[in-house]
Amino acid sequence: MAGLRISIAIYSQGHEMEYAVGKAGRIIAARLFEGEDLHESIHEIAAAENIKSAAVFITGGFRRANVVVGPAQEKPRIIGDYKDFTGPGEVLGVGTIYCDDEGPKLHMHTAIGKADQVMVGCPRDGTKTFLILEITIIEIEGLNARRKPDENTGFNLLRFE
């Protein structure tokens, strides 16, 4: 049932899980080369292909990345704890594409490694490819979902309409 919205109360604090059901659409395979930017490249593909919702998978190498590895502070506002990864190193990652008011936006979490250096987190803009990075984008059809500003966190969070 595409576009279905269901809210289920979880936890005693009244938080609610939300989800919607869509179906797999087009599957796009891409390859980035040395020095190409992860976010710029995926945003370019999403805009060119008019992708509004998708699951994204990557495997390959990062030359460098600025990674949020958790919160440095939780309250009163979440502040990210940023760590630099200087490669080259191996990476695998999963993420999503949903649009905000400016267009398609990638949200991805990765595991990055080089010898005994391992980092798990959310790479930010400026992440550069080492040698190759293989990307698979699976479009999700039938969802009415967007990233919208959240007053409590200050982030653009996924919302179903």
Find out whether 10 and 17 touch, Cβ atoms under 8 Å: yes
Q: Where is mean pLDDT largest: 14-23, 24-33, 141-150?
A: 24-33
> d(Cα 29, Cα 134) in Å, to the nearest integer?
7
Of 150 and 6, the one with more pLDDT: 150
Give me the domains of the chain, ranges plus CATH numbers. 24-144 (3.30.1330.80)
> d(Cα 90, Cα 92) in Å, to the nearest integer?
7
Give Cα separations from 107 to 6, 76, 112 (angstroms): 23, 23, 16
**In this predicted model, what pLDDT tens digit does every residue of 137-148 receive, in sequence order?**
999 999 999 999
| This model's pTM is above 0.85 | yes
